[in-house]
Structure 1
Amino acid sequence: MRAIRVHETGGADQLRVDDIPAPEPAAGELRFRVEAIGVNFIDTYKRSGLYPVPLPHTLGQEAAGVVTALGAGVSGFRVGERVGSTAVQGAYAEEAIVPAAQTVKVPGHVSSELAAAVLLQGMTAHYLACDTWPLKPGESALVHAGAGGVGLLLIQIAKMRGARVLATVGSDEKAELARRAGADAVCVYTREDFTAAARAFTSGRGVDVVYDGVGRSTFEGSLNSLRPRGLLATFGNASGAVPPFNPLLLSQKGSLYLTRPTLQAYIATPDELRSRAQDLFSWITQGRLHVRIGAKFPLAGAADAHRALEGRATTGKVLLEPAAR
């Protein structure tokens, strides 16, 4: 089978198409034919070496497809069913392995494309808005990268919960996408100060929470956008990792809270994983959550997908499709 592997860390040109044997599921695992693969920033972190992995390494952790084999002891799944997961072992491939306990069934009314597009980013948006800072009606949230995959979903979920949302984006075209998702106000950060916009949005008080997947370039401004005792949830490193800082800074800016959450901690049990996924699939079916697939590439075009993602040339979700040539 074909798989996209990294033999040496570095730029997107390090992604290679290899022909390797199809994996065999161990006890508690299942194998599935991959129909759609979600491309995520964590894939670029592993490729670049920011997140070290053993080499050679088959990238990817999010995908959906059809079960082709069950390992010993697996129950609740059968060959031929469609499934999806954010814990795939080597999703950039034509077949892949996943622990059954970290897999969800994909309902018939949701395509494999939609499942691969919504699981990781949708569950990230879900835990941020529903658990990290459980938004209440009337509260204010600043969502960075509002036209990105997480951003568009997070805006919609925040609005479902009754919050007011200020989104930051990099262009007027992306601003329109954020508005369509429900953002109450949009700041084009390439020409506006988003901290000033956050203060104006809240009549000088500061927002209750900042959801920041950008990292280094927005960190200080995000802290400055918060009200006293507000929370900064920094959940990604799109511009690079946040450098070390003195915790006294949090007290100086109003006894702020800071968290660096990860999806894995919020889907630690099968019940929590499936509850979040069920919410997403239900909202899609009800027409309350709209998933934007911004770009699709064939499996062999993984390097182009990474370049587009890192160059912020995408909106919504980026997918790889093994069947496409």
Structure 2
Amino acid sequence: MTQAIRISEFGNPSVLQMVEIDLPDPGPGEIRVRHAAIGVNFIDTYHRSGLYPLPLPAGIGLEAAGVVDAVGSDVTHLKPGDRIAYGGGPIGAYSQAANLPANRVALIPDGVTDEQAATLMLKGMTVRFLFKDCFAVKPGDTILFHAAAGGVGQIACQWAKDMGVTLIGTAGSDEKCRIAKEMGAAHVVNYRRENIAESVRSLTEGKGVPVVYDGVGADTFEASLDCLQPRGLMVSFGNASGPVTGVNLGLLAAKGSLYVTRPTLMHYIAKDEDLAANTADVFDAVKRGAVTSSIGQRYALADARQAHEDLEARKTIGASILLP
């Protein structure tokens, strides 16, 4: 038997329940992984709340690292004892062990710990697709990235600096602003006492930025539009403050013929070759030292409720992990 977190209804963190499950042997093309560390991400709260509904009852969690325990038939590129990580599901990472498609995991390179890998997969792959696929930033660009001291934001700050990109970050406290600067942000705006759009316009000599990466959602949507250059792109990739609703498309015309996209990582790594290219870039950045993982919080698997409460209350800094 294996312990796992399951939900039988949508709601607040109290719906997260630890249960015993019977994990079968891996089937053809599958592997069984004993988890060593599990990543906690905002998308997990969306699945739990029902914002992104799942068929119930359901597991939860998309990201983890661990050791291959068994392989199914037809699996030849992995063997028991291999260290692997994954960040695109399937759902159910909040568990001691899981069966996974062998073609949807990545070998963890030497020099990268299980805990680091468990926080670098989903967040690192997210930054990679945002910067290289969704809007291809290039050296010399100036961009805006909200929640720059969060788990995704810290990786974005580091990766942008490595690429020669000037990243303007936002954060909600002086401490978080300091962390974002240490991670590589060129400028940080404390949104609790500064006007985001006015600050960005001042920092860009009135021009604005060509792209805004916004994982906050409702609270920052209009401010993000006000930071863009004409024909700029607003990338709304998360809903930390709630989903964006009731958008008047006329705003996009009035503010400069703007573009808006609501992408998800899963659509950008749906093909095996796209997943492989993404994870290769992530681990290359890690091996070069361009990107490191900052783990701010560690919780026992049984304390998943507390992890979600802290994340949604914006009490966390950097990445959070569960330890089985």
TM range (shorter): over 0.9
Q: Aligned partner of 1:121: which letter? A: K
Q: CA RMSD in A?
A: 1.2
Q: Aligned partner of 1:123: which letter? A: M
TM superposition shift of 1:257: 1.3
Aligned to 1:163: 165
Aligned to 1:16: 17
Aligned to 1:264: 266
> What is the TM-score normalised by the length of structure 1?
0.96
Aligned to 1:38: 39
TM superposition shift of 1:175: 0.4
Counterpart Cα distance in 1 of 2:315 and 2:24:
34
Aligned to 2:247: 245
> What is the TM-score normalised by the length of structure 2?
0.96
Per-residue deviation, residues 82-126 of structure 1 (Å, max 9, x unmatched): 111121331111111221121111112211111111000011011
SS in 1 for 2:239: coil
Counterpart Cα distance in 1 of 2:24 and 2:173:
43
| Structure 1 range deviating more: 263-272 or 164-173 | 263-272
SS in 2 for 1:31: strand
TM superposition shift of 1:241: 0.8
Aligned to 1:145: 147
Counterpart Cα distance in 2 of 1:312 and 1:246:
29
TM superposition shift of 1:73: 2.1
Equivalent residues of 1:293, 1:317 under 8 A apart: yes
Counterpart Cα distance in 2 of 1:24 and 1:316:
35
Aligned to 1:298: 300
Report matched runs for 1:74-89 at 5 Å: 74-86=75-87, 87-89=89-91
Q: Aligned partner of 2:76: which letter? A: S
> How many pairs align?
322
Equivalent residues of 1:23, 1:31 under 8 A apart: no
Counterpart Cα distance in 1 of 2:288 and 2:43:
30
Aligned to 1:109: 111
SS in 1 for 2:73: coil
Equivalent residues of 1:85, 1:98 under 8 A apart: no
Q: Aligned partner of 1:106: which letter? A: I
Per-residue deviation, residues 149-168 of structure 1 (Å, max 9, x unmatched): 11111111122222111100
TM superposition shift of 1:186: 0.7
**Are positions 1:201 and 2:241 aligned together?**
no
Q: Aligned partner of 1:49: which letter? A: G
Please, which of 211, 215, 218 is the counterpart of residue 217 of structure 2?
215
SS in 1 for 2:229: strand
Equivalent residues of 2:160, 2:184 under 8 A apart: no
Q: Aligned partner of 1:128: which letter? A: L
**Are positions 1:316 and 2:311 aligned together?**
no
Counterpart Cα distance in 2 of 1:114 and 1:182:
19
Counterpart Cα distance in 2 of 1:169 and 1:89:
30
Counterpart Cα distance in 2 of 1:231 and 1:22:
44
SS in 1 for 2:317: coil
Counterpart Cα distance in 1 of 2:217 and 2:260:
13
Equivalent residues of 1:15, 1:302 under 8 A apart: yes
TM superposition shift of 1:286: 2.0
Report matched runs for 1:165-184 at 5 Å: 165-184=167-186
Counterpart Cα distance in 2 of 1:311 and 1:35:
26
**Are positions 1:72 and 2:73 aligned together?**
yes
Structure 1 stretches of 5 or more lacking a match? Answer: none
Q: Aligned partner of 1:130: which letter? A: K
Aligned to 1:100: 102
Identity %: 47
Please, which of 279, 294, 298 is the counterpart of residue 277 of structure 1?
279
Aligned to 1:51: 52
Counterpart Cα distance in 2 of 1:138 and 1:91:
38
| Structure 1 range deviating more: 94-103 or 273-282 | 273-282
Equivalent residues of 1:297, 1:319 under 8 A apart: yes
